[in-house]
Amino acid sequence: MLTRPFVIAWKELLQLRRDRMTLAMMAVLPIVQLLLFGYAINTDVRHIPTVIYDQDHSAASRELQQSLRITGFYDLLGEVKSYAEIERALRSGKARAALVIPARYASNLRSGKAAQLQLVVDGSDPQTVGSAINTASGLIAQRSSELMLAKLARVGGGAGAALQPIALEPSTWYNPELRTAVYVVPGLIGVILTMTMVMLTAMAIARERERGTLEQLIVSPVRRLELVLGKILPYTVIGYVQMSLILLAGRVVFGVPLVGSLQLLYVLSFLFIAANLAIGLFFSTLAKTQQQAMQMSFFFLLPNILLSGFMFPFESMPRPAQFISQGLPLTHFLRIVRGITLKGATFPDVSQELVWLGAIFCALVLLTSLRFTKKLV
Amino acid sequence: MSETIIETQGLSRRFGSLIAVRDVSLSVKRGEIFGVLGPNGAGKSTTIRMLCGILDPSGGSGRVVGFDIATQAERIKERIGYMTQRFSLYEDLSVVENLLFYAGIYGVPRSKRRARVDQVLERTGLGQRRKQIAGTLSGGWKQRVALASATIHEPPLLFLDEPTAGVDPVSRREFWEQIHGLAAEGTTVLLTTHYMDEAERCHRLAFIFRGQLLDVGTPEQIVQRRNLRALELELEQPRDAAELLRQQPEIDEVAHYGHVLRLTTRGGVDPEPFVRGVLESRGFTLKSCNVSRVSVEDAFVSMVREDEQQRAKAA
């Protein structure tokens, strides 16, 4: 009987239509999350508030301050007069970094001796530390090689000495401006789909159990597969609507590009959506009430956000975390969706992720059908 | 017609160490209204669930509409209607949406669904309320929708688990008229109840107590087998009289009904001369004394009491 899944899907949609709250949540949630994550998550470190302890007060030291400011990484808040003041500024959070220029900076430079600068950084936020140190050392290395070359030119006057011995020219592909939104928005499709798909299906069965209608369904001739299909069908459609909404909004608001094939993305997303629905269904076999189903869904969401590579790079996670991460459908979907939207990946590029998704899906279906029986108790 | 629709042998079900149903053997014939009686927790719902094929028996066997309850549960499910204790309707769907849903689930062909739903709405008098959201209906109306849903596919066998719990007397009466109507058309109805007045409306009854079958038969047979006689008295100091009467081994049960004292005697003892003898020798004056009909409730209470006494003796 092919009609039963459709009868169930029709009923689900009718119920959904009357459930204004859930309906609104499904439409508004993706947009709110998109704006929230798109604007708020910004891993580019810029505008580090910095104080200067200039003990030299020379033209050279002022020049150094100037070149620091120009990078855009440091907001120079002004000068301090002692280490105690530096400590106060860092502790109060007014400044995150402090540059100490020693008293004999200019004269040392002139006489060709090494000048020792000091950069004090607030280590309570490791992300700032890295950027602050990297930018500063880059800047200083450049300054010193300039000075060195100038000295060489003065001393030797040789023509070839004007060249640096080694030069690295970095070239960033796919997201040349390194905008976080470009990276976050496609990932957000995965996060939001995980959240809504798992929760909706988990609640859909738990609700029937809670209200006693599940017993009525169990006693009917509906087959397990028909029930599962009927429950999954409407939510798959909702999943696609959400996905389209985020893609569109991401494009309009954040200018997220779509390099690869949209069709391929839609086709491959099916397995991801199905895997999430299967997880929801599995939760619903464990949950006795809608509240429990909701709690399980949230509990499941956390590792997805933290371990999937959505917020932190997969490669830098410790091994056990990577191991867990491989079992999450989101991990693999993120690679697919980022690959297609940002890099124009084609089917062969993402086929490995697809195998993973397929394997996870099959395992879940097996697990769920073992748990879900048309019997009471 | 004496075709057997339900037949069980030694049906049992345990939940851990608790034996919910113990060795129940019964048979129900086509067109019968079969009542399963018992106090709360006696094993009525467990029995129904096993017969519907949604709970596996831990012992014994049974055949329902010609199929084995343990191995052919899905075949049974197509041929039965089942109404749960809570009238499991979708409270956020309208009456007609609920019916259309169950019609679809039970495989009523799409072309016939509307007509079938209209027909059921007509029969149950729900026509006026077809668009109303089920959650806003009162208990009696919910019960009608639940019955309509359970019969939407015209099943030959209907299971009703406490169908009249929380329903007002008028709705209950109308409900019973519908049940008799269905039975007259050939539908077999098995229902559970703990309302004794409803028990008397059944063709046959089964008494279940502590998971065991105490007696099966027509209400008349069950009453006859207990061999009770009933009497209603009016007198001064009814509490003292009741106390005295309860001490007599011939008296099965004494109960207060307003100003009236109602009692039953065991073993076919003629109650009037016996009671007069006992009471008047102790100086009680009877204002009135009328022989009363022995009810199913009398028989039921008597059976439960006897069972309790035997248990007490054994322990």
Q: Same domain, yes or no, for A244 and A316? A: yes
* C-beta atoms of B97 and A11 within 8 A: yes
Cα B271 from Cα B231, distance rounded (Å): 6
Rounded Cα distance, A275 and A360, in Å: 7
B90 contact residues in A (CB cutoff 8 A): 11, 15, 211, 213
Per the structure, the complete domain to which residue A141 belongs is given by 48-162
Cβ-based contacts of B54 with chain A (< 8 Å): 215, 218-219, 374-376
Please say whether the beta carbons of A323 and A237 come within 8 A: no
Tokens of A275: 């895997």
Do A36 and A53 belong together in one domain? no
In a domain, A315, yes or no: yes
Write down all domains in chain B, each with its CATH number in brackets.
4-217 (3.40.50.300), 229-293 (3.30.70.100)
Contacts of B294 (CB under 8 A, 6+ apart): B223, B226, B228, B229, B230, B264
Pair (A197, A294) in one structural domain: yes
State which of A134, A162, A190 marks the end of a domain: A162
Q: Do A101 and A86 share a structural domain?
A: yes
Question: 3-class DSSP state for residue B159?
Answer: strand
Helix H or strand E segment including B260: strand B260-265
CB proximity list for A375: less than 8 A, separation 6 or greater: A218, B54, B55, B56
CA distance B62 to B24: 10
Report the distance separating Cα B279 and Cα B241, nearest Å.
Answer: 7
Cα separation, A57 vs A67, in Å, equals 15
Q: What band does A180 get if pLDDT is binned at 50, 70 and 90?
A: confident
b/e sequence B80-89, b meaning 16+ C-beta within 10 Å: bbbbbbbbbb
Tell whether A231 and A317 lie within a shared domain.
yes
- Give B308's contacts (C-beta < 8 A, 6+ positions apart): none
- Domain co-membership, A221 together with A352: yes
Answer yes or no: do A76 and A206 share one domain.
Answer: no
pLDDT at residue number B1: 47
User: Can you state the angle between helices A262-286 and A224-254, rounded to 10 degrees?
Assistant: 130
Q: Which one of B73, B101, B133 has the shortest CB-CB distance to A7?
A: B101
CATH number at residue A122: 3.40.1710.10
**Residue with more model confidence, B201 or A42:** B201
Q: pLDDT tens for residues B221-270?
A: 999 998 999 999 998 888 999 999 999 989 999 999 988 999 999 888 89
Q: Over range A231-242, report the average pLDDT.
A: 89
CA separation for the pair B44, A211 (Å, rounded): 21
> What pLDDT is stored for residue B196 in this prediction?
86
Residues A82 and A198 in one domain: no
Q: Is residue A377 part of a domain?
A: no
Touching B: A residues 204-223, CB under 8 Å: 211-213, 215-223
Q: What is the 8-class DSSP label of residue A83?
A: H
Angle (nearest 5°) at CA A254 between A250 and A257: 70
Residue A16: list chain B partners with CB under 8 A: none
Percentage of residues in chain A with pLDDT exceeding 70?
94
Same domain, A247 and A343: yes
Per-residue pLDDT tens digits for B39-66: 888 899 899 999 998 899 999 999 999 9
pLDDT band per the 50, 70, 90 thresholds, residue A374: low
In a domain, A170, yes or no: no
In a domain, A111, yes or no: yes
Q: What is the pLDDT of residues B131-189, one digit of tens each?
A: 999 999 988 899 999 999 999 999 999 999 989 888 889 989 999 999 999 999 999 99
Per-residue pLDDT, A158: 54
B107: chain A residues, CB-CB within 8 Å: 1, 3-4, 221
Does residue A286 form part of some domain? yes
Considering only CA atoms, which of B75, B11, B23, B28 is closest in space to residue B188? B28
pLDDT, one tens digit per residue, over B102-127 is: 999 998 999 999 999 999 998 888 88
**Contact between B177 and B183 (Cβ < 8 Å):** no
Encode pLDDT of A267-310 as tens digits. 999 999 989 998 998 898 888 888 999 999 999 999 998 888 88
The predicted structure's pLDDT at residue A156: 66
Do A138 and A287 reside in the same domain of the chain? Answer: no
At A140, the pLDDT band (50, 70, 90 cuts) reads confident
Residue A369: is its pLDDT beyond 80?
A: no
Residue A99, domain member (yes or no): yes
What percentage of chain B exceeds 70 in pLDDT? 99
* Position A250 in a domain: yes
Block residue for tokens 């406490």: B162
Q: Could you tell me if residue A376 is inside a domain?
A: no
The pTM of this model reads 0.78
* Interval B77-103 mean pLDDT: 91
Q: Based on the structure, what is the number of domains in chain A? A: 2
Of A129, A162, A195, the one marking the end of a domain is A162
Domain boundary, last residue among A162, A190, A225: A162
- Numbered residues of chain B with Cβ closer than 8 Å to any chain A Cβ: 15, 49, 52-56, 73-74, 77-78, 80, 82, 84, 86, 88-93, 97, 101-102, 104-107, 110, 133, 149
Query: CB burial class (10 A; 0-12, 13-18, 19+) of residue B292?
Result: middle
Please give the mean pLDDT across all residues of chain A.
85
Confidence of residue A146 (pLDDT cuts 50, 70, 90): confident
Same domain, A323 and A242: yes
Task: For residues A149 and A194, state if they share a domain.
Answer: no
pLDDT at A43 over 70: no
Q: Do A375 and B55 touch (CB under 8 A)?
A: yes
Of A11, A215, A377, the CB nearest to B84: A215
- The beta-carbon neighbor of B88 closest among A3, A19, A211 is A211
pLDDT per residue over A345-354, tens digit each? 888 888 999 9
Confidence class of residue A44 from pLDDT cuts 50, 70 and 90?
Answer: low
Cβ proximity of B138 and B104 under 8 Å:
no
CB contact under 8 A, B97 and A14: yes
